[in-house]
Homo-oligomer: A and B are copies of this chain.
Amino acid sequence: MMTEVEIKEVEIKTASEQTRMRLLDAAREVFSQHSFQGATVREICRRAEANVAAVNYHFGSKDGLLAEALNFAQLAALQKANVEAAECPKIRLRMFLCDFMLMLLDEKNPSSQCRIMARELADPTPALDKIVREAIAPLHEFLGKLVREIVGDKVGEAELRRCVHSIVGQCLFYRHSHPVLQRLHPKLRYDRKEIEAIGEHIAEFSLAGIKHLDKVSRS
């Protein structure tokens, strides 16, 4: 049987770890809504109900907080499950794109890391190297292999790479340009149904593009 102290440690952890968690959650929230320069330590601490000094005490700096807030486990799990699935490559591409778009766009999705990733693309930050290494490079590699399965060996590396770029570009567009799209189509709501329709569209559009590439290359 556990002592009272042990229960406390397991269930609610130490007070210190609680504030660490609250800071990380708040950081993910704020970093996904503002650029790194736009996000302020004071707002993160306000949302975490912690003192301004807490960030530097627990994480050393604002940079350190961002680095620790990044966690691409969910994105990696998505890729792992997809690779191990028994379906054919085309269906796996469809599945992945729907899941990925839900990660990027669904506000209810707890994984805001991909939204941070998307935001950091344009504005290099000390954390960008980590993002590229742990999230973006594996993602491109994963999609490259998947497209290669579909397109066969007749297509060159450069064309294959551009196909991956085309797919990723379509996905990120909806995240990057969200403020613009809201102004262009004010009445459009990005609910789960709409997000899945977008994922389906990107899959259909891209599969046709890949297939056509195949034809061009063989001719």
**Of B37, B172, B213, the contact of A205 (CB 8 Å cutoff):** B213
Which residues of B have CB within 8 Å of A121?
176-177, 179-180
B-facing residues in A182-219 (Cβ within 8 Å): 183-185, 197-198, 201-202, 204-213, 216
Which residues of B have CB within 8 Å of A170?
165-166, 169-170, 173
Q: Is the CB of A136 within 8 A of B169?
A: no
The reply to whether the CB of A123 lies closer than 8 angstroms to some CB of chain B is yes
Which residues of B have CB within 8 Å of A162?
197-198, 201, 205
Q: Is the CB of B166 within 8 A of A176?
A: no
Which residues of B have CB within 8 Å of A165?
170, 173-174, 181
**How far apart sit A201 and B206, CA to CA, in the bound complex (Å)?**
12
Number of copies: 2
Q: Is the CB of A209 within 8 A of B204?
A: yes
Q: Is the CB of B198 within 8 A of A205?
A: no
The reply to whether the CB of A159 lies closer than 8 angstroms to some CB of chain B is yes
Q: Is the CB of A122 within 8 A of B179?
A: yes
Most buried by B among A118, A169, A185: A169
**How far apart sit A124 and B204, CA to CA, in the bound complex (Å)?**
31
The reply to whether the CB of A129 lies closer than 8 angstroms to some CB of chain B is yes
